[in-house]
Each structure stands twice: as structure tokens, then as C-alpha cells.
Homo-oligomer: A and B are copies of this chain.
Amino acid sequence: MGLIVQKFGGTSVGSVERIQHVAQCVYEEKEKGNDVVVVVSAMGKSTDQLVNLAKEISSQPSKREMDMLLTTGEQVTIALLSMALNQKGLEAVSFTGWQAGIVTEPVHGNARIIEIQTESIDAQLSAGKVVIVAGFQGITENGEITTLGRGGSDTTAVALAAALKADTCDIYTDVTGVFTSDPRFIKNARKLLSVSYDEMLELANLGAGVLHPRAVEFAKNYNVSLQVRSSMERIEGTVIEEEATMEQNLVVRGVAFEDEITKISVLGLTDSLTSLSTIFTTLAQNQINVDIIIQSTTEMGNANLAFSIKSDDLQETISVLEDHKELLGYGQLSAENKLAKVSIVGSGMISNPGVAAKMFEVLATNKIPIKMVSTSEIKVSAVVEERNMIRAVEVLHAAFELANIEAEVN
């Protein structure tokens, strides 16, 4: 007997059949004697369809009206899921974000949750009902409808789990858990039974996109026990919690990778004291995300700078830099395309100084040149040529013995 928050994303509720399947998952949890709160996203492509309607009308629609428009998507899903639960003989009640008491800051498109007033949900749970909450949305103190931005439904689920003091928050996805690497590419990748919040944050940021980083951060701050699991198969997923309890001896817990990276080199910066901040402020103002940044100073007092971006942003990055050449005061500009980032992640690294060295050695032994390097306490990333990416992941996955961990396979 406990309280479970379940979250189902857009693919999991993409059709009437999928919604009926979700109803079955909820039914089984309820049968175990648990109270259940379900958070759902908009059905499959419905958000995209709404965005397209808006784009037909305006290239820059008002953010307030986009929130008004997009929040209808989850509202459709909660109503249909509630009906599907009724069909199974379960009493259910659906709540929009505002009905669920999800109060956010007065910002449209990317609001943060300030608090959750749980009275309405509490009352319905006490009455024995399944409560279905529209993810991704909230309300300001002035009654304006807001959305939480990307990963919003994950955040809604985690925030509700925290506010309701739920025993666990199950994030249902189309994969069975978090893996040591992407099983679509690395054939002996293993499912991890547990990872820590910080490891999950690094993995999520690195494109192992089963869970939005913001939701993981929220879970970490409120110590919410999360589980990533499959909506299709009834097997244990991966638990995300303060300290990964299993496989404690594992220094590296996963190898993540991401292609379509471009390295930009800016040579001969004249005034390195202010030019660095000027460059990245200018890029940020133009919505260009920069990942790894390396700076070195030459003996003549000039600075050289290299940073990595998504290849998609190449054209705009170049034109922004060229437009501001005089202001930024640099000599030469060059770009190297078709790169990829390979990263090893694990909390155990903190107390194992040799991990980065081992990574470089493994790559060198396999004749894979490293273009850039970046490190954090629990992660080492290396930028390599795109054509070497999968092989780099394979040799690292093998070298850190990730295929040998005692977890379920797939």
C-alpha cells in the first residue's frame, strides 16, 4: 500500500489503443492496493499539429497564446484516459494543471513550478479515485495558463511525487531503462538497475534522452525516488536515487555519445580579458548553444579559442562571429565539421583519478584521434571524428567492462 505517481509520454498515449494500454498499467498498479496519480502528455503528434496551426497564422506567435493553444493537448489525453479507466470499472477524475493546483511563475513557454496546492488531489485520492493530471502545464497566481517547457511532463510528475510524498515516481517510456550505452548501436549494452541523480543528469544531458535533466534535478532536490521503465514490457526498470545502491564498485556506469558536432576555432584574440565573455554573450543572444570551450594563451599575449556547437548552428555561428568581428577583435576563424562527442559517466570517478587517463589511452591504442576534451567530476568527454564515434564507444564500453555488470540484459 503506497502512493505511486506514473508518467506516460506522448508516444505512450499516441492512440486510443495506447491509451487503453496505459489504463491497463494504471489498473494493475491500483489492483496492488496502491493509490495512483497519473501524469500524461499530449497524444503523439498532436502538439506538433497545434504548433503548425499557429505557424500558419504567425511566425512569432505570442507565448501566452501558445500556452493557451498547446495546453489543450494534455487536456484531451486526461479526459480520454479517465474514460478508459471508467471502462475498466475504476473511478477516475482528470485535472488540468490549474485544477491540480500546479502554481508556476508568471512566465510563458518555460515556467518553473512554484508550489503545488494538493488539496483537490488529496480529496480525490481519499475518495479512492485515480487522479489523472495534465502534464507540462500550470497556472500563475493571476490565473494565467502557463507551460513548463521541454520535459515539462516529466517535471510535473516529479513535482507531484515530491508534493504528495509519493513512494515512487515511475516514468514510463519506450525503453526498458537506462543503459550502459545506447543498445541500438552497442550490442552488449546492459540495463543498469540503478544510477544516481548526478549520473542521470550527465547521461540525460549527453543525449541518453529517456528523462529530462530538469526533472532529474527536481528529483534530486526533493529526493524523489524515480524509476524509468517500459510501458510495453512488465519488467523492472532503472531506479534513480541519491546513491546508486547496486554496482557500487563500478567506476564508469555508462558511455554516452552524440554526433553532428562542429568545432569552431577562433585564433588571435587580441584582448582575452573581455573578448571571451563578449563572444559567448553574443552567441547566447542568438540562441546558439555552446558545449565544450577550450582557451589557450599564446606567448605573444594573444588567445586562441575553440568551442563545440551543434552542426545545425554552424551557418549562424559563423555569421554572428563575422558580423561582430570588429567588436570581438580576432584574427582567424575556422570550423571543423563531422565530429562527435563520446563521454564516460560515473560517480566512482571522483575517487579514481586514473579514469580520464585510461580513456585517452584506450582511444590512442585504437588509433582514434581526440579533437577536444572536457571533464567534470563524474564525466569525461572527448570529441572525435564522427566516423570513429561508434568504435570509440565500443572500445570504451569494453575497456570499462560494462558488458559484464550483473544487470538484466535489455
Contact = CB atoms under 8 A, between A and B. Distances in A.
A135 to B, nearest CB: 15
Interface string A37-73: 0000000000000100110111001101110110111
Interface in A339-365: none
A16 B57 contact: yes
A56 B94 contact: no
B61 A68 contact: no
A56 B86 CA distance: 13
A82 interface: yes
A193 interface: no
Contacts of A69: 75-76, 79-80
A59 to B, nearest CB: 9
Oligomeric state, in copies:
2
B76 A94 contact: no
Nearest to A82: B65
Tell me whether chain A's interface is mostly helix, strand or loop, or mixed: helix
A61 B75 contact: no
Contacts of A99: 143, 145
A297 interface: no
A120 interface: yes
B58 A16 contact: no
B53 A82 contact: no
A208 interface: no
Contacts of A86: 58, 61-62, 65
A83 interface: yes
Contacts of A71: 75
Contacts of A68: 75, 78-79, 82, 94, 96
Given A62-B82, A75-B75, 7 more contacts: A54-B83, A58-B86, A58-B87, A65-B79, A68-B75, A72-B75, A99-B145
Interface of A: 16, 19-20, 50, 53-54, 56-58, 61-62, 64-66, 68-69, 71-73, 75-76, 78-80, 82-84, 86-87, 93-94, 96, 99, 120, 143, 145
